[in-house]
Amino acid sequence: ETVRDGLEVETHSEAARRARKEAMEFLLVNHPLDCPICDKAGECRLQDYAYQTGQLEGRTVEPRRKEEKLVDLGDVILLDRERCILCTRCVRFFKHFEGRAQLGVVERGDRSHIAAFYDQPLTGNYQGNLADLCPVGALTLKKFRFKQRSWDLTPVPSICPLCSRGCNIFVDVARHGVVRRIRPRLEPEVNGYFICDQGRLEFDDLNMGEERLRFARVRREGRLVERPMEDALAEAARLVREAGEGLLALASPFLTVEEGEAFLALTEKAGFKGFWSPPPSGLGDRHLRTDDPCPNRWGLEKAGLQAVHKEALAAALPSASLVFLAGERILRLLPPEILSLCAVKPVILLERVLGGLEGAVQVALPGASWAEKSGTFVNAEGRKQEITPALRPPGEAAPDGRILEEIRRLVLLQGSGKEEEK
């Protein structure tokens, strides 16, 4: 019937329910009964619809069709052809989103199956989205395969910090506090339904092992030794206060807006301060990924911090009497020539790792990752977005903002004590 004004469509009539049930029966005719070992179990749309329609039994007596179970589609995705229901979402994703077809339906009739063109591995920075788009367990992430059941994961909403786009994500955390995967979270104005593969797969950093700083360290008799956090904070405050204008303070672009404000308040008397502005990554594309690796450039600039580039930092370091490096990944982002200049100065380090500056660090304070704190990021479009903690910092590690505020409190307290002595 032609669509017209006032037309009523029955979607829950007996005929409609029967039609859906029959369609579901056809989808299940050759589908393998491997839900107990399928990574999609608990999130499978076919599973959900089978229960909704009540189609839990099949009437076929012929053997189920056998297909290839492990088809390697490249570095990110594995294909199980037996589970595929030929919805062609994956085919259309590459064609319409990426603008270049990489998958297609080959053969005819009941021999039809999904295949990569010329059996070449998939390429591009958005392959991981196939695992989200696939309604069944046909396309799975290699990195998540057999790692955790979906119902044992707690999804925590947050923001991806790997570029200035600020894609909305879910951080899926297992019961024992390990990040198992990162998924896109729908935000039509920022990233839509998708995220890039870097944002999806580079979460091993959140599950850092022995190299992670869990307790504060202070240099005593030429060696860095673990000390209570209170002692380390007091020592850091003393060094900052005594350095005065000789302090060179450099923040990581991974600081939140609130942490940037705390950093600025602490270092107001520093002779040189700002946040590190790394060069363009060259990883930008026409979809989501940007060339700017700073997740909060706009937010830190609005907080009052200036972006610092390599030339200005190299010129300022020789005259500094104390270097204060604050924030996640600051050591990883700084170029080797800058780190070598820092290595000959006394350093206060607020980070998650010691990196290559162990010989210069006077006080090491264990900071938190972006997934262990709350705060605000401002993306390249000026949109404020909130990050929320998915993990608890280990040991005495704490969010950077809390540590910066405590050092400032101690600086003021020590300063007032000196005034009273005079």
Find the mean pLDDT for residues 358-381: 96
Domain shared by 281 and 385, yes or no: yes
Q: For residues 329 and 352, what is the distance between their CA atoms, to the nearest angstrom?
A: 8
Q: What is the extent of the structural domain holding 129?
A: 20-58+66-146
Domain shared by 375 and 228, yes or no: yes
Tell me the pLDDT tens digit for each residue of 211-240: 899 999 999 988 999 999 999 999 999 999
CB neighbour list of residue 175: distance below 8 Å, 6 or more residues apart: 152, 154
Domain shared by 142 and 227, yes or no: no
Residue 296 lies in a domain: yes
pLDDT over threshold 90, residue 130: yes
Residue 235 lies in a domain: yes
Q: Which pLDDT band holds residue 210 (cuts at 50, 70, 90)?
A: confident
Strands (E), 27-177: 71-72, 77-79, 103-106, 113-116, 139-141, 153-159, 168-174
Domain shared by 251 and 142, yes or no: no
Q: For residues 44 and 136, what is the distance between their CA atoms, to the nearest angstrom?
A: 5
Domain shared by 141 and 222, yes or no: no
Q: Which pLDDT band holds residue 87 (cuts at 50, 70, 90)?
A: very high
Residue 253 lies in a domain: yes
Domain shared by 126 and 230, yes or no: no
Show which of 93, 119, 146 is a domain's final residue: 146
Tell me the pLDDT tens digit for each residue of 51-84: 999 887 778 888 888 899 999 999 999 999 999 9
Show which of 131, 146, 161 is a domain's final residue: 146
Residue 9 lies in a domain: no
Find the mean pLDDT for residues 320-348: 95
CATH number assigned to the domain comprising residue 74: 3.30.70.20
User: Residue 419's pLDDT is what?
Assistant: 52
Q: Which pTM does this prediction carry?
A: 0.90
User: Residue 417's pLDDT is what?
Assistant: 61
pLDDT over threshold 60, residue 346: yes
The CB-side HSE value for 26 (13 A sphere, CA atoms) comes to 7
Find the mean pLDDT for residues 127-151: 96
pLDDT over threshold 60, residue 142: yes
Residue 166 lies in a domain: no
- Among 27-36, 133-142, 305-314, 331-340, the range scoring the smallest mean pLDDT is 27-36
Domain shared by 224 and 138, yes or no: no
Tell me the pLDDT tens digit for each residue of 173-182: 999 899 999 9
pLDDT over threshold 70, residue 418: no
The number of distinct structural domains making up the chain is: 2
Domain shared by 340 and 243, yes or no: yes
Question: H helices of 244-394, where?
Answer: 257-266, 297-303, 310-316, 330-333, 336-342
Amino acid at 307: A
Show which of 146, 166, 185 is a domain's final residue: 146
CB 182 within 8 A of CB 195: yes
Tell me the pLDDT tens digit for each residue of 378-399: 999 999 999 999 999 999 999 9
End-to-end CA distance of the chain: 94
Phi and psi at residue 217, to the nearest 5°? -130, 145
Q: Which pLDDT band holds residue 184 (cuts at 50, 70, 90)?
A: very high
CB 184 within 8 A of CB 191: yes
Would you list the DSSP string of 302-321? HHTPPEE-HHHHHHHGGG-S
Give just the sign of the alpha carbon dihedral 240, 244, 247, 252. positive
User: Residue 279's pLDDT is what?
Assistant: 93
Domain shared by 104 and 225, yes or no: no
Q: For residues 11 and 109, what is the distance between their CA atoms, to the nearest angstrom?
A: 29
User: Residue 421's pLDDT is what?
Assistant: 54
Residue 373 lies in a domain: yes
Q: Which pLDDT band holds residue 110 (cuts at 50, 70, 90)?
A: confident
